[in-house]
Amino acid sequence: MMTAGEKLRIARMNHRPGGVDYIKKLIDSPIELHGDRRFGDDPAIVGGIGMLNGIPVTYITTDKGADLSERIERNFGCPKPEGYRKAMRLMRQAEKFQRPVICFVDTQGAWCGADAEERGQGEAIAESILGMMGLKTPVITILTGEGGSGGALALAAADRVYMLENAIYSVISPEGCASILWKDSSRVNDAAEALHITAQDMKELGVADGVIAEDFENFDAMCANIRDILTSELAKLTRVSGELLAQGRYERFRKFGIFEK
């Protein structure tokens, strides 16, 4: 069994496929749609319309960039407020045309720069979560690498949440946690363990509905499996009315909480 610290390092490896790689494999004739219609276009989030196994869908993905110049262009996959606002614009559009939404998330978190604060990073994420919770069309999220806190949840308030087997999902970066707890950011492994961040932890806690096997050597086969999972989930979800979908999503998240009376 791998430790949480080892999983964390694997989830962050540069050679993992990026969000755009999944879109290329899974979505036929994708048309990328840009911009939030408010401020700008955030390259850290890519979204558009295309066909998934014959079903028109809206796809939204974070992307860290494949090489250094692309990484800089995409801000290492850390979205800014305009990224979340673009995502919400595309989700509303999907809702209008009754298209399902498929999200792929791999981000260390929302961008923590002064520019993001000025443009309301908190408000953008809050609106995204609120919007997703009430969305009257199916939405499925797959966490493919790092699920970094609110910046990941902003694209993961979904009907179904899947994780790749070495993906992680965490309320705070293990480094940040270690520095708060022990004033020592090098105790990453201990913090990762304490936080319970692995896909297997998420399955156990009910945060993830399923864990998807990774096989990057056979990426085509791996994506065929993802396509099958998405297709079978959509077959179920597209039969449900928008109102009932939102109600089901509410119940899905309503149950999270462990406390004493």
Partner 1 sequence: MLDSLKQKILGIVTPQTVTCPSCKKEFQSKEMKAASYICPQCGKYLRVGARDRIAMTVDKGSFKELAADLSSKDFLNFPGYADKLTAAKESVGENDAVICGVCSIGGIRAAIFVMDPRFIMASMGSVVGEKITRLFELATKKKLPVIGFTASGGARMQEGIISLMQMAKVSGAVGKHSDAGLLYITVLTDPTTGGVTASFAMQGDIILAEPGALVGFAGRRVVEQTTGTALPENFQRAEFLLKHGFVDSIVSRDKMVETLTNLLRCHGVKIS
Which is nearer to partner 1, 8 or 207 (by Cβ)? 207
Structure-block tokens of residue 158: 């979904």
Measured CA to CA, the distance from residue 73 to residue 22 in angstroms comes to: 19
Query: Hey, is 144 helix, strand or coil?
Result: strand
Give the number of other CB atoms < 10 A from CB of residue 193.
16
Judge contact between 123 and 42, C-beta under 8 A. Answer: no
> Pairing between strand 45-52 and 55-62?
antiparallel
Query: Hey, is 27 helix, strand or coil?
Result: coil
From residue 164, alpha-carbon distances to 14, 19, 168, 201, 226 in Å are: 16, 13, 8, 12, 10
Q: Is 183 in the site for partner 1 (CB under 8 A)?
A: no
Q: Report 241-260 residues binding partner 1 (CB under 8 A).
A: 249-250, 253-254, 256-260
On the CB side of 181, CA atoms within 13 Å amount to 17
Q: Residue from 40, 150, 210, 242 that binds partner 1 (CB under 8 A)?
A: 150
Which is nearer to partner 1, 179 or 238 (by Cβ)? 179
Minimum separation from the CB atom of position 49 to partner 1 (A): 25
Q: Is 39 in the site for partner 1 (CB under 8 A)?
A: no
Considering only 39-47, 138-146, 170-178, 219-227, which stretch makes contact with partner 1 by CB under 8 A?
170-178
For residue 205, give every residue at least 6 positions away whose Cβ sits within 8 Å of its Cβ, in sequence order, or none: 196
Minimum separation from the CB atom of position 112 to partner 1 (A): 4
Q: Is 10 in the site for partner 1 (CB under 8 A)?
A: no
What are the start-end ranges of the E strands in 20-94? 28-32, 45-52, 55-62
Q: Is 76 in the site for partner 1 (CB under 8 A)?
A: no
Q: 77-116 mask for partner 1 (x: CB under 8 A)?
A: ---------------------------------xxxxx-x
Q: Is 177 in the site for partner 1 (CB under 8 A)?
A: yes
Q: Is 133 in the site for partner 1 (CB under 8 A)?
A: yes
Q: What residues make contact with partner 1 under the rule CB under 8 A? A: 110-114, 116-123, 125-127, 129-130, 133-134, 149-150, 153-154, 157, 169-172, 176-177, 180-181, 190, 194-197, 201-202, 205, 207, 249-250, 253-254, 256-261
